[in-house]
Amino acid sequence: MSLDELYRQVILDHYRNPRRSGSLAAPDAHADGNNPLCGDEIALDLALRDGRVIDVAITGRGCSISQASASMMADRIVGKTLAEIDALTHQVKRLLDIEEGDPGLDPERPGAVLGDIESLAGVRRFPVRVKCADLAWTTLAEALAPHSGTPT
C-alpha cells in the first residue's frame, strides 16, 4: 500500500466513523465554522475545567477532508491544556503550509509527526482543500479564544 493510499484510508475511516460526534448539553465553549468554498460546516462544543478541555462533541457536514480533520482533532484534544491545544493547532497549520516552518515532532509519539493528522499533509498540493482541512482548527481557536489566559 502506498503512503497516499494509507493516508486516504485513514481519512475515510475518520469520515465514516467520526470520533466524538454529537453535542454537549451544557458546553462551556462553542463555535460554528463554515467553509463556503466547499460547503463544509462544523459545530463544536467543548467542556472545560481547570484550563483543560475535558470533553468535546462535534456535528458537521461536508467533504471527507473537513469532517475527517474535525474527527482527528476531537480525538486529540481531550485532556489537553489550552496552551497544549494552541501548540498543536500551530503544528497542524505548519503541516498544512498555512504557517511557515516545520510541524515538529509529536511529543506523545516519538518519531511521529502528528499521527493520524499527518494524513492531511497531502492536501497541501490542493490549496482549495487546505481550507477544508483547516476548518476544524480555526473553529477550535474561535471557541477557545474567550477562555485563553483565564483558567476556567
- The footprint of Zn ion (CB under 5 A) covers 38, 40, 63, 66, 132
CB atoms within 10 A of CB 151: 11
What is the nearest approach in angstroms of Zn ion to the Cβ of residue 60?
A: 10
What is the nearest approach in angstroms of Zn ion to the Cβ of residue 63?
A: 3
Q: How far apart are CA 150 and CA 119, in angstroms?
A: 33
Report residue 61 as a C-alpha cell.
Answer: 457536514
Considering the complex, state which of residue 66 and residue 71 has its C-beta at the smaller distance from Zn ion: 66
Considering the complex, state which of residue 37 and residue 83 has its C-beta at the smaller distance from Zn ion: 37
What is the nearest approach in angstroms of Zn ion to the Cβ of residue 62?
A: 5
Cα angle for residues 15, 43, 6 (degrees, 5° grid): 20
CB atoms within 10 A of CB 45: 21
Considering the complex, state which of residue 66 and residue 89 has its C-beta at the smaller distance from Zn ion: 66
What is the nearest approach in angstroms of Zn ion to the Cβ of residue 49?
A: 32
What is the nearest approach in angstroms of Zn ion to the Cβ of residue 17?
A: 18
Q: Which residues contact 138 (CB under 8 A, 6 or more apart)?
A: 33
Which long-range contacts (C-beta less than 8 Å, at least 24 apart) are formed by 114-118?
A: 114/88, 115/76, 116/10, 116/14, 116/72, 116/75, 117/69, 117/72, 117/73, 117/76, 117/92, 118/7
Considering the complex, state which of residue 28 and residue 40 has its C-beta at the smaller distance from Zn ion: 40
Considering the complex, state which of residue 63 and residue 78 has its C-beta at the smaller distance from Zn ion: 63
